[in-house]
């Protein structure tokens, strides 16, 4: 039995990760300040004696004897991370320092949830890990993009300077049950709007693309990365290479919900990336042939079922 700390464990991805790690027989500490996550996401785990829920803000140091740390704490939706940009960058940077400091002290292995946002508005398509990105350092997305980029630097430097065992994953747009219905990301927005018969809000002309990964595929890749060859640090892309325009996504959601909602067009937010698609060859090679198993229609159907319970 491993003792595992999951920061941001009460969030969308973190709660699925906690559940899976508990099911595999581990002792799990879920740390969260409930900024975008909630106790509701993990309430079904509270009866398990090997699950502990801790209210803590990762910008402050935390101490616990653990073997592994998954550092997931950080708001991920543009609406939420732009709400308090200084706090967002503190969460990424001080959160990384505190997590790495703990890992160094207790000799734990630590995995960083980085993001495809480190590629910014990419000029290389699809994006391999070797691409350095095209990020605006002073725009409205910078608090998140640059915070995550700095966290990657800290992870690499704690490894080279202090020999901390690290892993870095770059997560591409992921969706599924337990996304916050109000968090402003495109999948949750479109599904909630379609289920409530409201207009579907397309930003810009809707021709920008994203590649959507179902959460179970991400959790599988994340755990494989933690358990991979210690010499393989990453960063490694985890995402589903099937790419869709926002118009195609809206059409799929309308079809699957049998909604009568209409599309409305709204201004494109500043620095909104035009396209995004992961190159997952490295993940396939290093993570025992990992690749996404759940395609958009199946994943959306499961997600819609969840959001129906939130109406």
By CB under 6 A, name the binding residues for ligand NAD.
7-8, 10-14, 32-37, 57-59, 72-76, 91, 95, 113, 115, 171, 173-174, 180
Interatomic CA distance for residues 78 and 140, integer angstroms: 9
* Residue 191 interface partner, choices ligand UDP, ligand NAD, none, CB cut-off 5-8 Å depending on type: none
Going by C-alpha positions, the residue among 267, 271, 209, 214 that lies closest to residue 240 is 214
> Tokens 């960063």 map to which residue?
235
- Choice between 209 and 261, CB closer to ligand NAD: 209
CA-CA distance, 176 to 306, in Å (whole number)?
A: 8
Helix (H, G, I), strand (E, B) or coil at 69: strand
Among candidates 73, 117, 81, which has minimal Cα distance to 98? 73
Which string of DSSP letters, residue by residue, matches 157-177? HHHHHH---EEEEEE--EE-T
Nearer to ligand NAD, 41 or 261 (CB): 41
Which partner from the list ligand NAD, ligand UDP, none does 11 bind, CB cut-off 5 to 8 Å by kind?
ligand NAD
Identify the active-site residue in 70, 81, 119, 144. Answer: 144
Of the candidates 311, 198, 196, the residue with the CA atom closest to the CA atom of residue 263: 198
In whole angstroms, the minimum distance from the beta carbon of 11 to ligand UDP comes to 15
Greatest distance between any 2 Cα atoms in the chain = 58
Q: How far is the CB of 228 from ligand NAD (least distance, A)?
A: 19
Contact 204, 268 (CB under 8 A): yes
Closest CA to 149 of 92, 225, 98: 92
Of 78 and 292, which has the nearer Cβ to ligand UDP? 78
Task: Give which of ligand NAD, ligand UDP, none residue 99 binds (C-beta under 5 to 8 Å, depending on kind).
Answer: none
203 contact choice in ligand NAD, ligand UDP, none (CB below 5 to 8 Å, kind-dependent): ligand UDP
What is the binding site for ligand UDP (CB under 6 A)?
77-78, 173, 185-186, 189, 201-203, 208, 210, 246, 268-269, 272
Smallest gap from Cβ 50 to ligand UDP, in A, equals 34
Sheet harboring 3-7: ordered strands across?
Answer: 51-55, 27-32, 3-7, 68-71, 109-115, 166-171, 236-238
Could you tell me the smallest distance in angstroms from the CB atom of residue 302 to ligand UDP? 18
Does 306 qualify as catalytic in the annotation?
Answer: no
The one of ligand NAD, ligand UDP, none whose footprint includes residue 210, by CB under 5 to 8 A per kind, is ligand UDP
> Closest distance between ligand UDP and the C-beta of residue 38, in Å?
19
Catalytic site positions: 144
């Amino acid at each position: 039995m491993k003792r595992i700390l999951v920061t941001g464990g009460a969030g969308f991805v973190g709660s699925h990760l906690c559940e899976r790690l508990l099911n595999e027989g581990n002792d799990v500490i879920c740390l969260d300040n409930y900024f975008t996550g909630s106790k509701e996401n993990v309430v079904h785990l509270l009866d398990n004696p090997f699950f502990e829920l801790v209210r803590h803000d990762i910008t402050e140091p935390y101490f616990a004897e653990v073997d592994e740390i998954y550092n997931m704490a950080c708001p991920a939706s543009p609406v939420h991370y732009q709400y308090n940009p200084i706090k967002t960058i503190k969460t990424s940077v001080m959160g990384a320092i505190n997590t790495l400091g703990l890992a160094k002290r207790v000799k734990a292995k630590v995995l960083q949830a980085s993001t495809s946002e480190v590629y910014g508005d990419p000029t290389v398509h699809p994006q391999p890990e070797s691409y350095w990105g095209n990020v605006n350092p002073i725009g409205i997305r910078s608090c998140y993009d640059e915070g995550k980029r700095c966290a990657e630097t800290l992870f690499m430097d704690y490894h080279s300077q202090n020999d901390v065992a690290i892993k870095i994953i770059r997560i591409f747009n992921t969706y599924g049950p337990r996304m916050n219905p109000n968090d402003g990301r495109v999948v949750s927005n479109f599904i909630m709007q379609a289920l409530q018969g409201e207009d579907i809000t397309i930003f810009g002309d809707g021709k920008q693309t994203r590649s959507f990964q179902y959460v179970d595929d991400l959790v599988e890749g994340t755990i494989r990365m933690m358990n991979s060859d210690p010499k393989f640090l990453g960063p490694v892309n985890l995402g589903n290479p099937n790419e869709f325009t926002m118009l195609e996504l809206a059409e799929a959601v309308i079809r699957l919900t049998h909604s009568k909602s209409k599309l409305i067009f709204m201004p494109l937010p500043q620095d909104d990336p035009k396209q995004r698609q992961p190159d997952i060859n490295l993940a396939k090679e290093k993570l025992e042939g990992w690749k996404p198993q759940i395609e958009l229609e199946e994943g959306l159907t499961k997600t819609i079922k969840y959001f129906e319970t939130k109406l």
